[in-house]
Structure 1
Amino acid sequence: MKTYKFKTNINCGGCVETVASYLDNSQDILQWEVDTQHEDKVLSVMGKESLEPKDVVDIINLAGFSAKPLKKGILTKLFGS
């Protein structure tokens, strides 16, 4: 299983509901969540080995939002992981 984190512009509950139908319909995404309280509106996605960051970015773009993968160095600074 792979886990990715993205900086997004998904900033409210209504926005989360909008992207939910797109993310929930992907066979490669197993679980996801958006932290709308974080300044970077971080989207965390867990998926199958076949899932690539570009796939998630494409899905989010299709839903009308933007997503940019967070680099591992930034993740360590933000989340201590």
Structure 2
Amino acid sequence: MNLLLFQTNIKSKKKVKSIKPILNKHSDILKWSVDLEDIDHVLRIEATTNITETDVIDMVKTHGFHIKILAD
């Protein structure tokens, strides 16, 4: 299992709802959440090893959101 962390501009429940279908339908994403309280609006994804950070970035960017890998 991989833990993927991203900084995003997903700042509201409405925006979380808009990406829910794409993240839920991806078979390699096991669990995901967006921390709306965090300054970086962290998207946290638990996934299989079959999905890469680039895959997630591409999916989220296609829906008009800013996303980048969260540095440790």
Q: Is the 8 A contact 1:2 1:46 kept in 2?
A: yes
SS at match of 2:68: strand
Q: Count residues with an aligned counterpart.
A: 72
Q: How do 1:2-81 and structure 2 match up within 5 A?
A: 2-72=2-72
Q: When the two structures are superposed, what TM-score results if normalisation uses the length of structure 1? A: 0.84
RMSD, aligned α-carbons? 0.8
**Higher-Rg member (1/2):** 1
Structure 1, gaps ≥5 residues long: 73-81
More helix by share: 1
Higher relative contact order (CA 8 A, sep 6+): 2
SS at match of 1:22: helix
- For residues 29 and 66 of structure 1, the distance between their equivalents in structure 2, rounded to whole angstroms, comes to 19
Structure 2, gaps ≥5 residues long: none
- For residues 65 and 25 of structure 1, the distance between their equivalents in structure 2, rounded to whole angstroms, comes to 18
Q: When the two structures are superposed, what TM-score results if normalisation uses the length of structure 2? A: 0.94
Q: Quote the sequence identity (%).
A: 32
Q: Is the 8 A contact 1:22 1:63 kept in 2?
A: no
- For residues 50 and 71 of structure 2, the distance between their equivalents in structure 1, rounded to whole angstroms, comes to 19
SS at match of 2:32: strand
Q: Is the 8 A contact 1:32 1:43 kept in 2?
A: yes
